[in-house]
A and B are shown apart, each in its own frame.
Chain A
Amino acid sequence: MSLLRTQNLAAFYGDFQALFDINVSVEEGETVAIIGANGAGKTTFLRAVAGALATAPDTVLFDGQPIGDKTAHEIVRLGIAMVPEGRRLFPSLSVEENLLLGTHSERAGPWNLKRVYELFPRLRELRRLPAPSLSGGQQQMAALGRALMSNPRLLLCDELSLGLAPVVIRDIYQCLGAITAEGTTVVLVEQDISRALDASVRFYCFQEGRLALNAPTKNFDHAALTAAYFGL
């Protein structure tokens, strides 16, 4: 049974339909990438899975259980954590307080402050500072750490590379490797296609709210990806 499965998932912003009939499945332990142009619905997809957007109950299944109608805070408790686009750290909290916020989901598991600081040693040195005083890369580490603190089975990462220098992006993706080595399942949304494909075993390409392509990342057909990405 897939850890995450969506069945004809549709999502709306008011009257505007942002997703049409999305069928995605993610196996336990897999890292799957979702790519697509701006406005293709990648972030909307993550928000729908995380419960930030209301959807029909049966359109999202987590571990076989329908979760489409659950609220965001209920879904975190079931084991889906989100690293939101733009990091969204809490500005009036210190770095450590931001990490501790992840424990409000009250899930037991391997991740705690000590483990997160082992993964990101810089954060231990910066832990007393207010979150906005960190650099972009450090903030991204804190946002990843905060999500890990909820001990997720499924980690949703929205644009980890956004606004970061290439060398910092490389570091972050190395850490992501350490996270998936723990058995955590990851869904990556990325604009940086080569980065996303390097880190994943399969990818889905979205185009204007619809699924355009689903393929393994090894030896995929570049022409097919180009066609799916640009809708040619």
Chain B
Amino acid sequence: MALGTPSRLNSIARLAVLGMLLASSPLSARKFYRDDPLQAEPRPRSVGSALSRKLSEYYDFFSNTFGHPGEEQPPTAKIPARAVNTLGEALDSSWYTNRHYANRMTIEELVRGPGGDAAPSLSGPWTVVAAKAEGITPGFTIVDSRGRRYVLKFDPLSNPEIATAADVLVSKFFHALGYNVPDNYIVEFDREQLVLGENVRLADALGREQVMTERNITEILLNVPRTINGRYRGVASLYISGRPLGPFRYYGTRRDDPNDVVPHEHRRDLRGLSVFAAWLGHDDSRSINTLDMLAQESGTQYVKHYLIDFGSTLGSASTGVNSSRSGHEYVFSWKPAIVQFFTFGLLVPDWARAKYPDLPSVGRFEWEKFDAEGWVPEYRNAAFSNRLPDDEFWAAKQVMAFTDDEIRAIVRAGQYSDPATEQWVVECLIRRRDKIGRAFFSKVLPYDRFAVRDGSLTYEDLALKHALIPSQEYAASANFPQSVRWSRFDNETEQKTPLPGETGLLLPQQVRQATAGEYFVVDIAGADPRKTVSVFLRKQEAGVEVVGIDRAW
């Protein structure tokens, strides 16, 4: 059908009408509400009943590899992240809690992680109440003498400490980054520490259950590496309180949760998770390693979302070292497979040339070939694929917030027995952190923490703060603000009315003398005119406050 035919015009007119309707919808009726910027979502509603269901990892793999579940980014008019406030920060919610970047944590708090004081007690025996002899890794469920329940997991014989260290220290990083994670502890124990509970059943490889015996415990432990002292080392993961509901998906929403209103592929905390996963080598960041719990707080029952199982991070594959492909290519994708198929493997991917130290406890984790922008998990993740530069910036600034000393302290919590291993992990995390900063701070104007102080708009240039740009070169750098334009802002129509001649960061007279409730906007552009930050200010009785930030790139 040719352009301009009546049918085509009807379609256009229909779209125009719809567009007008949508433009006047409540979401765009006004840009800012009186309670903006919101820091936390309202208290969750009570969930009446939520289905405890399992998901299939094979379904997840095939549907994401050969299908494209979730709403993808269109070629143009990208869909910005949701579940954010007007400053672009993820809201405190059942998914996420602003922590280290928002309110700097002490090293003690970082190392403590989500708990820190609930390690299984060694004052009495640990009662084995369940066990897993088959599967990827063996393990037990134990109850300590204080009645606390843990999942006890181990390393593969070939690579002592590789999974347990990763599970513990990465959970602490994810906690500091804002996610709900289990409370994990490195434990060392003797065989006598474990006693068998009553009527414990153990399933064999075919799912046939039998009464578990002490011998079963011994046999499972035969596949566990011993420390130099002859003890067993494991990671004890404190049971998360609540009722498990199964994993969440990285797309869509839970249909039985009234609080889950933002498609997961558009959540900033899940889009940005891709950057955190890249930093920590968490290529196993898929649905199966998440958990929804029906939690209860102050009489309200709601769904709380967790990331779990970090044994396959930092170059570990839980059962051994990860493939060097990890993080660089999906397990399967058409293009690289076809290229390799027809080039007889002579076109060697750059990642295949990565060099790894001979450190069995750390696996294939390095920083030289690490590509912060190109990093991918095992297979497509709808939320990760949808991320935009402002999602990346949101995540990168949090990664960059970890100092070298803080990284060292958290890595020490992994209790590597070999100092060289600890040093390598620390170095990798520092170098990968800096690569993340360089990659994602360059895609937007990396200004943040806007505030009005002493009659002036202030901010931090994070690239400058983290020494990604030497201060003596700053004035000549692309980040140096090339233009600052002030406008009056109509919150209802979103019209900007320029304030002529106002090109500095000092608050113009019109702003200072405005009446409460008036809005203004400062458009700041760098050397690249496409990269701008618009900072919205609202005059209050007590002064002027930053109420919103828009980024363009």
Whether chains A and B associate is: no
The chain B residues found within 8 Å of chain A, CB to CB, are none
